[in-house]
Amino acid sequence: MLCPNCSNDCSERAISCPQCGEPFSDIIPPIEKTHAALFAFFLGGLGIHDFVLGNPTRGVLKIVLNIFGFLIVPAFVCALLIYLDLRHITKGTYSTKTKKLTGDDSVALALSIIYLVFFILGILGIIAFSSLFFLPTLTAF
pLDDT one-digit tens code per residue, 42-80:
998 888 999 988 888 988 988 888 888 767 777 788 888
Q: How far is 81 from 30, CA to CA, in rounded Å?
A: 23
- For the chain, which residues score pLDDT lower than 70? 25-28, 70, 97-98, 135-141
Helix, strand, coil abundance in the chain, percent, nearest 5: 60, 5, 35
Q: What is the pLDDT of residue 10?
A: 81
Q: What is the pLDDT of residue 97?
A: 67
Q: What is the pLDDT of residue 137?
A: 61
Q: How far is 123 from 121, CA to CA, in rounded Å?
A: 5
